[in-house]
Structure 1
Amino acid sequence: MHAIDVPVTPRNWDLYLTAVVDIHFQDRIVHVEPRPPRTAEGVFPGPAEGATVHVITAWNPRGRTASPDANAHAHRLLLAEVRRRGLTWWPAEGGDVRGTHREESVAVVGLSDTAARDLGRHFGQDAVFAWTPDAWRVLACDNDAASVSGWTASERGCSTGPGRR
């Protein structure tokens, strides 16, 4: 009998599976929540057909709560890296559905899943999100573990959106 090599998920995996994300586009905020697989409700705001929107944070590396100053510094470094790569990005926030925990993030297009995982791993993250027209995925940064669900997206207006980066 041979052992099956199954990727191990991070200890906070269940928190990632229920996390919600707000993406701040120039004229609106899109709120994304996970739903059962094969559910896609609302409008996918991807900039190109078939593009993946990856959501990545640099906050609280290795699952440990960092100070506000440390999180702000890490976020500035993430933004500098995204800009250095010439990626299209928008400000985002991810957190729990109740809104008691929020992390400043970026929503980017132009990365493969592997590159998004690598970027998350570089900033000490357990996982990143990948949003496509047909799925909302949680991708582990340290291995190939992934969870696929559906999504629902709702929009609300934004009077002072920062715009496309």
Structure 2
Amino acid sequence: MLHDAIMEAMQNLIRDNQNDMAASLQEIILQCTAQQNQGSQPEELRHRLEELNRELDRLLTFAGNDLTDLRIKQISDEMLRLRQQEKQLVSCADYARGREDEMREVIALLDDKDLNLTEYSNELVRRVIERVTVLSREEIVIRFVGGMEMRQRVGENVGK
């Protein structure tokens, strides 16, 4: 009965929201690609870190002066902040690439399948559905990749 309810939800989603779903998936891919194409920002960070490193090396020869020590601390603090920012950018880029790949897989899978789904497919469900939450014996909530959620009755009216 659960498989039937999931199949009906997927059929309804495809039938009722095919254009919206495709547009949403394309939008997610475009956002991910835009984030990846911000390649100048990590390069700017690296360049600034190199500049600060050179300045820090130069100032270390004059250490002991209160002004020099203050500037060394400022440079160290900025370098730490920039390194954290660089790690965060790399992490975001990795996440964006993963989401883009995931969305491309879903689109390819849906393109390869007959959109008039007639039989339950574990492969399709694993790739298209993030989670199924059982609310009761009669109702579930299905969360699709990309965030769309749908309530679905179980047992009653399934397969009509």
The TM-score, its normalising length taken from structure 2, stands at 0.24
Give 1 or 2: higher strand fraction.
1
Give 1 or 2: higher helix fraction.
2
